[in-house]
Structure 1
Amino acid sequence: MVRPVGALTYRDGVDRRTQELREAHDVLAELYAERLADALEEIPEDRAVLDLFCRLVRDAGLGTTVGDIGSGSGRLAPYLADQGLQPHGVDLSEEMVRVARRDHPAYPFEVADLRRLPFDDASLAGVLGWYSLMYLPPEDAPRAFAELARVVRPGGYLATAFKVGDDSPRRGGGTLDLGIAFDIYWHSPQEMERRVTDAGFEVVFWGGRPGRDGEPQPQGYLVARRAG
């Protein structure tokens, strides 16, 4: 069940770093919708991990509603639905949500912060953090991962894709010449595993692939089961 308490509106008071990230992704919304529309067709590794997540969620028998946390332009929703799931997207950026609703009107999307998700306790069969957890500063990560654990039923699943690095902060957005910049973290697999296990998940799969098509870093994948 979705609960409106705690959900953000676009002009809610937030810290500078969050506001910077939100405003940058407002600018990026149309670009993401255009450039990432066919990304799943081009990256079989992404499809393979998503397929694993979908299969695990279905086999767990805990329902089919999953949260796409940091859903961006909504590109994953049709794929998840084709795999028998019911996706519900949330994103920090109001403009990303507007584009997702426009391009994928069959699915629900709303503005929300990963640190304060608009879902009841243990209300979801699974959650995705697909290239969306990399914006968390270290001091906010425990709270955010605890939120992911809070909303997933025991026995449900989390899947994440991330850029592999040394966990140090970088500034993103500058190479696009759009007048935006924001903090981003390329996480080590060890850090990602520590975060999910500290939050109460058990890792069931991890993997990765080399960078391709101009990507300056490898990409990582992790799937975990909510303990309890």
Structure 2
Amino acid sequence: MSRALVIGASGGIGAAISSELEGRDYEVTRLSRRENGLDVTDPASVESHLGNLDGPFDLIVISTGILAPEGAGPEKALGQIEPDTMARTFAVNAVGPALVLAHAERLLPREGRSAVGVLSARVGSIGDNRIGGWYSYRASKAALNQILRGAAIEIGRKRKEAAVVALHPGTVETPFTADYPGHSKVSAEEAAANLVTVLEGLTPKATGRFYAYDGQEIPW
């Protein structure tokens, strides 16, 4: 039986990915702040929770993230940027996954196909940005993408068959997106099925790239 590790497994998309993997006969280890007290922005918490895990895991999914801190929202103009809000958004969306990725190599098999998928967002693509706005969220996801790219190179030096990728799930119906009714949304279950299908179809040549839920590559 294949083994999977899902970080952020109590959130809408993380829970759906966990259930989808279990439906495909994976043995799933779930970690989250709500259920386990994992704080991805706290190095000691990450070390405590991930340092005690025994691999290997054939698949690792990092599904943590925020659109904005509680009580705040995405900025529509440069003048709306608040340093503390931006710093918190970066801490959760970029620094947190980086701390988790530091454990990924140890937790992946030394030989054989494996995959790491980190939930990013299309709005983090610099090449795809045509309308501006959402500065903290966009920039934090762009930073995450760069971290992912570097992690793919580092992990690939010893795990030649690993594919480490950024993933865009689409706009998913979760509390995360409830305040944005103008966007076309899919259910968390549908998004999870799409993402797992993409992850299962990856080859080592895909490592260090950015993919949408339909398998199409997104420009950095």
User: Could you state the TM-score of these two structures normalised by the residue count of structure 2?
Assistant: 0.44
More helix by share: 2
TM-score, L = length of structure 1: 0.43
